[in-house]
Structure 1
Amino acid sequence: MASDKPNDPTPDRIVAGTQPDVEMAPIANTESKQDRDPYLVVFNSEYDAENPKDWPAGRKWAVTDVLSATGFNRIMVSTIMAPALSTIAKELDMNSTESVMALSIYLLATAFGPLFIGPLSEIYGRKRILHLSNLWFLIWNIACGFATTKELLIAARFLAGFGASAVYALAGGVLGDVWSPEQRGKSLGVYLLIPLLGAAVGPIIGGFMAARTTWRWMFWSTSIFQAVMIFVAFTTFRETYAPLILRTRAEKLRQETGDQQYQTVEERHHSHKSALSVLGRALTRPMRLIMFHPIIQITAAISAFYYGILYILLSTFSDLWVDKYHQSVEISGLHYIALALGEMAGSQIGGPLMDYLYRRMQAARDASSRTLELYVPEFRIPLMFPGALIAPLALFLYGWAGQYRLHWLVVDVGMFFTAFGMQIAGMPLTAYVIDTYAEHTSSAMAATQFLNSLTAFLFPLFAPKMYDALGYGWSGSSMAFAGLIFGFPAPLILWYFGSKFRAKAQSTY
């Protein structure tokens, strides 16, 4: 049986076939290994129509696009309330702290939801968890629109956020299920294109709704969209989790032949364990990764910092235009287009560039080395450095341009390049985690999302006081200095010590 360690460079992890991929090592193997054990249920090493890695490109893009559109709606709901907070607070008799809580508690839920949803998708499959989370989110998002008390609104927002959090855990897992490492950047770029719009488009839509209709339509309209996405998911999304697909195949073989010896690698691994034990190990996996795996600790810390800064900007950007530039709420929301364009440009430039650099470094390594490790996750890291420099410099520009009320275009340019730099730096982190923890990608993504959502929840809470005390100039400078301090050491550590961390990593089982 192959090693449980992530990316363990042993011969058993080398997979023959037209799309050699170290990620499939636990469930796929060579013909010779299958000949040695005819009862081991695996995918055909040359081509297997049920293997998500061998699916036609159209089917791969279909499941990717379903997750992308679902992510757009769920992320948009996290920010759509921002321009209407004062209106909602007045109608439901909320103080400033309670109104901010109604906005940010959604993000707190997205910290804890993936800790359960990610591991469950590695037991029951991606499809089932996606459908259940879609329905859960729809129910509670509708409840937000009908809330008549602040307590009900806050509670419904938390429960809606819990359901929405599934996309954070499932996305990385599904992309790892269907796309090979050489296509990681392209698939991430396409997947992120629509959800990235959600965070920025939310305040734009919210601003116009707050000015022209009741704030309740923010939730009713997104619920209508969610209902449409549920229908699309039910008709389009197919199961992508290879161990579950193989488990279904093994069960069919056992029924047809009456021979109970047909089993998958996963079933043999868990054969001596009770169902409760397997479930317990799965549900604790994200926290074990956070506590004991340096790779998760480092990637989660830097990703969480960028995520927290993003939500500081999202939660205060409108205030800059209303308070400093004396623009209307509707017009202030349009400036979020700069942020959206920055993130879109970062994802569409960063994705192909990451694949290009990865292929070049792989080719150079293959020409000069005879190592058994097919794919080296550390080749994702170099792209982080330009982003780690661009984002802080842009934060300086954004902060001081806003402080001195320079032309609005200068401020928006600063916001554009801040979002662009954070996206360029953040995408390789996601790809690195997917590559390193191929066996339990959803749990690994849940572990990193836990810290992401905590900073997204906490950072905006102190942002108003920070801007009041330091002004926009020194607030932007403080975030920029912190970005330089965080942005460069972390990728250097992963570049020089990542392979050692992977070699010593405890089993993700």
Structure 2
Amino acid sequence: MAGLDSQKSASNLSTPNDKEGEYHGPDIEKQPTKDETYETREAARRYPETDLSRGVIGWDSQEDPQNPQNFAASKKWALLGLISAFTFISPLASSMFSPALVYMAAEFHETNETILSFTVSIFLVGYTFGPLLLAPLSEIYGRRVILSGANWFFVVWQIGCALSKNIETLIVCRLFAGIGGSACITLGAGVVADLFPTELRGRATSIWSLGPLIGPVAGPIAGGFLGEEVSWQWVFWVLLIASGAMQLAIEVLNQETYAPVLIRWKTAKLAKELGRTDLQSAYDVGRESLSKAQVLKRSLVRPALLLFKSPIVLLLSTYMALVYGLLYLFFTTISDVFTSTYGFTVGLSGLAYLGIGIGFFVGLVIIALTNDRIVQKLTAQNGGKFEPEMRLPTMIIFACILPISFFWYGWTAEKHVFWIVPIIGMFPFGVGMMGVFMPIQTYIIDCYPAYAASANATLTATRSLVGAFLPLAGPAMFQALGLGWGNSLLGFLALAFVPIPIIFTKFGKQIRERWPANLETKKAK
């Protein structure tokens, strides 16, 4: 009851356009009026205050320490670090099995190359369906409980993979492991939006995204040596141990960060303490009253609404999916090229992925150090008004760097040039991919901060679907065209998409504002 005095004295949150005495709840996806800025709407979303006289429950004040936006910097980065750690393990599992595939094929007497490739890529099919369910659920029940349940789901299915007695069982187990493992990939965007203001989101997104991009590269390195020296089953036992230990730490140290859920809990607590039935969360003010079933239904269709009602989300998702598919087409050739052409062992062939991996790391550092600074500079030049499209200009440079690798790697491998040359040739792709992915993900978070998890689910699902099935065509394509022309075809395709970032940068704001994806459920007037 001690906090009630401060709640009683807390004033309404009002914006420059509010009429005196009128309370406005956070209208998150509303398009800005003439006098309204992005920062005004962001402030209304982050800091709705309590007004007991009107039955509205929000934060005690804009400095309320319970608001995740006001957590100490060390606490924010620690919470993000927890998510990022598991975000490394899950993508690690997507590719860690690929070098050991030959040993599994020998044990199960499987010779169909498409089925063998599908055993690896089925994990990404789980990444397609998992986000569409888990992201909306996190916006109903909170990040913590959904992340915890999904992570344990991922951990348990590693046992099924390790104990599989046939390839059909292994495929099913990897599918379910992928569904569980998609939670950290999806909800991390929501946690970034929950904790960090606009000016820090570029750096936060870079740190969180380190796992999803480094994991698939580190996986083959570890998996190759495990399969060669122990057995292919030990790939999954190691994943079980690592993911189980990490999830135990997350279980103990993690906490809820989604503001609407925290205020809902606070509202229920105060209603019980004060014996009042009229209290309402500030995040629900102005919204249509829905049953739990209706809320769940509308939440589950939200990622689809974003994809099909927002052209900018559709275009960015398509572009990310293309780049992600190119990455996994790259992966289909690396192990075979360095074992058959250069005589590497299965274990050593995994080290060839370091070319892409180092490129990822360099690209990540560049984006982390420059993206927020560029945004701050452009905001100042724009009279202090931030626009999400300010994240996108650097994409143009990185999109031009990305195609270089296909010509460099393809033709040097085709001509059997010394092995270090094609490995170095993968480096530009790694840099370019990071320079494309990071701005897009941060842009989506900035556009839809209240529904960052659902927006990121759209990106994750589309790119994972392409990443799962496009590489199945890889062996046939490279067999028909060879490494040189096969990779050149991919390079020309990447070049054809270079104008897309230019279009996003120049016309992104007009597209976003002309076709807004209104995700709120408003009360009928």
TM tier relative to shorter chain: over 0.9
For residues 89-121 of structure 1, what are the alpha-carbon distances to aligned partners after superposition, in whole Å with 9 as ceiling and x for unaligned? Answer: 121232322221111111111101100000000
Match for residue 162 of structure 2? 145
| Structure 2 residue aligned with 1:485 | 496
Unaligned ranges ≥5, structure 1:
368-373
Provide the C-alpha distance between the structure 1 equivalents of 2:274 and 2:28, rounded to a whole number of angstroms.
34
1:406 and 2:417 matched? yes
Find the aligned partners of 1:452 and 1:222 in 2 and give their Cα distance: 24
- 2:139 maps to which residue? 122
Alignment correspondent of 2:323: 306
Q: What is aligned with 1:77? A: 93
Seen in structure 2, the aligned counterparts of structure 1 residues 237 and 5 have a Cα distance that, compared at 3 Å, is closer
TM-score with structure 2 length normalisation?
Answer: 0.90
Of the three residues 44, 47, 56, the one matched with 2:63 is 47
Q: 1:429 to 1:233 in 2, by over 3 A?
A: same
Check if 1:56 corresponds to 2:82: no
Do 1:389 and 1:484's aligned partners in 2 also have CA atoms closer than 8 Å?
yes
**Do 2:131 and 2:183's aligned partners in 1 also have CA atoms closer than 8 Å?**
yes
Q: What amino acid maps onto 2:171 in structure 1?
A: I
Alpha-carbon distance between aligned partners in 2 of 1:54 and 1:5, rounded to the nearest angstrom = 19
* Greater Cα offset, 451-460 or 37-46: 37-46
Offset of 1:14 from its aligned partner? 6.0
CA distance in structure 2 between the aligned counterparts of 1:35 and 1:154, rounded to whole angstroms: 54
Partners of 2:403 and 2:181 in 1: CA distance: 30
What is aligned with 1:320?
337
Q: 1:309 offset after TM fit, Å? A: 0.9
Separation in structure 2 between the aligned mates of residue 133 and residue 483 of structure 1, nearest angstrom: 35
CA distance in 2, matches of 1:13, 1:365: 14
Tell me the distance in 2 between the aligned counterparts of 1:265 and 1:11: 24
Say whether the 8 Å CA contact 2:82–2:254 is kept in structure 1.
Answer: yes
**Alpha-carbon separation, structure 1, partners of 2:428 and 2:53:** 55
**Compared CA separation, residues 129 and 104, structure 1 to 2 (3 A):** same
Q: 1:91 maps to which residue?
A: 107
Deviates more, 1:458-467 or 1:1-10: 1-10
| Alignment-mate amino acid for residue 316 of structure 1 | T
TM-aligned CA distance change 1:106 to 1:13, over 3 Å: farther
AA partner of residue 434 (structure 1): I
Q: Which runs of 5+ in 2 are unaligned?
A: 1-23, 521-525
Note if 1:417 corresponds to 2:434: no
Structure 2 counterpart of 1:48, which letter? Answer: D
In the alignment, residue 9 of structure 1 is paired with which amino acid?
Answer: P
CA offset at residue 265 of structure 1? 3.1
Read off the aligned partner of 2:45 and give its amino acid letter.
Answer: P
Q: Distance in 1 between matches of 2:378 and 2:192?
A: 22
Q: For 2:451 and 2:351, locate their aligned partners in 1 and report how far apart those are by CA, in whole Å.
A: 40
Contact 1:12 1:25 in 2 (8 A): no
Aligned 8 A contact 1:196 1:343 in 2: yes
Paired letter, 1:289: L
Matched, 1:65 2:69: no
The structural deviation recorded for 1:45 is: 4.8
How many Å apart are 1:497 and its aligned residue? 3.6
Q: Which moved more, 1:356-365 or 1:493-502?
A: 493-502
Look up the SS of the partner of 1:366 in the other structure.
coil
Partner in structure 2 of residue 429 of structure 1: 440
What is the CA–CA distance in structure 1 between the aligned matches of 2:234 and 2:203, rounded to whole Å? 35
2:219 to 202, 209, 225: 202
AA paired with 1:352? L
Preserved CA contact (<8 Å) 2:393 2:505? no
Question: Residue 42 of structure 2 aligns to which amino acid in structure 1?
Answer: E
Alpha-carbon separation, structure 1, partners of 2:400 and 2:248 = 43
In 1, the alpha carbon distance for the partners of 2:246 and 2:55 equals 40
Separation (CA, whole Å) in 1 of partners of 2:483 and 2:288: 59
Superposed counterparts of 1:78-477, under 5 Å = 78-94=94-110, 95-270=112-287, 272-366=289-383, 374-477=385-488
Q: Is the 8 A contact 1:145 1:219 kept in 2?
A: yes
Distance (Å, rounded) in 1 between the aligned partners of 2:465 and 2:361: 24
Using the TM superposition, name which of 121-130 and 385-394 deviates more.
385-394
Q: Which amino acid aligns with 1:317?
A: I
Whole-Å separation in 2 of the counterparts to 1:153 and 1:330 = 22
Deviation at 1:134, TM superposition (A): 1.1
Measure how far apart 1:348 and its partner are.
1.2
Paired residues in the alignment total 496
Further displaced range: 458-467 or 45-54 = 45-54
1:442 offset after TM fit, Å? 0.8
Aligned-partner residue type, residue 483 of structure 1: A
* Offset of residue 233 of structure 1: 0.5
Quote the Cα distance in structure 1 between the aligned partners of 2:72 and 2:269.
24
* TM-score when normalising by structure 1: 0.93
The structural deviation recorded for 1:408 is: 2.0
3-state SS in 2 of match to 1:206: helix
- Provide closer, same or farther for how the CA distance between residues 305 and 476 of structure 1 changes in structure 2, counting only shifts above 3 A: same
Question: Partners of 1:7 and 1:391 in 2: how far apart?
Answer: 36
Does the 8 Å contact 1:287/1:447 carry over to 2?
A: yes
Contact 1:70-1:229 within 8 A present in 2 as well: yes
Counterpart of 1:370?
none
Q: 1:25 aligns to what SS in structure 2? A: helix
Q: Distance in 2 between the 1:294 and 1:12 partners?
A: 26
Deviation string, structure 1 residues 180-231 (Cα, Å, up to 9, x no partner): 1111111122222344321111101111011101110100011001111111
* 2:42 is equivalent to residue 23 of structure 1: yes
Q: Which piece of structure 1 moves more, 193-202 or 260-269?
A: 260-269
Q: Which moved more, 1:246-255 or 1:391-400?
A: 391-400
2:65–2:71 CA contact under 8 A, matched in 1: yes
CA distance in 1, matches of 2:42, 2:129: 27
